[in-house]
Amino acid sequence: MDKINEYEIEGLIGILRETGIKGILKHSDLIVWNHILERGWCEDSSRDGMIRYLRENTDMSYGEITSLLNRFKDWKQLLPSYSLRLNQKLDSINKRYNSIVPFQWIGESDNQKLLGFVNEERGINVYDGSGDFLVKVCEIKKGSWEVNWKNTMNLTVPQQRYILDEISRLKKTNWI
């Protein structure tokens, strides 16, 4: 069974507030399915794609799957749609939890940045998480370890040194 990260529950708590305990208990399968679709976990939103996703990721029978999809079609307009802000917040938290170098505060009190390294498809990205949203500080190309700094960030020398030291440490451990 796949473990659901704790931060993903935030969207479900919003639904609980709107529907109450009776609503969430009565329609938990619809609410969870809505969460899966809103978070983009089921990439193919065609009926066949949804059936395939549910067959691969659950122990539901074909009849249970079609029943769920038919009820979801009827209830979809009543279920909440996740805002862009909520999805961005959940994605941001996901990156923080899945970082290869954990986020930590670097710098003096008036110019601290919450810096962390996240492994992504194209390379390792360093983010500043001290604001409401993650801001990319730099990109590190896999293999060549070339650093592409974002000009919009004003980093102090200790913050730059921290990033370069962590890159050196990752490179020595043959992380990639």
In this predicted model, what pLDDT tens digit does every residue of 25-73 receive, in sequence order? 777 888 889 888 887 888 888 999 999 999 999 999 999 999 999 998 8
The verdict on 149 and 103 lying in the same domain is yes
The verdict on 115 and 160 lying in the same domain is yes
In this predicted model, what pLDDT tens digit does every residue of 70-124 receive, in sequence order? 998 888 776 666 666 666 766 676 676 678 888 888 888 778 888 889 888 888 9
The verdict on 44 and 103 lying in the same domain is no
The verdict on 141 and 110 lying in the same domain is yes
In what order do the strands lie in the sheet containing 147-149?
Answer: 99-106, 113-120, 123-128, 135-141, 147-149
Q: Which domain holds residue 69?
A: 6-79
Listed residues 30, 49, 79: the one ending a domain: 79
In a domain, 84, yes or no: no
Contact of 150 with 159, CB cutoff 8 Å? no
* Integer Cα distance of 168 and 67 in angstroms: 54
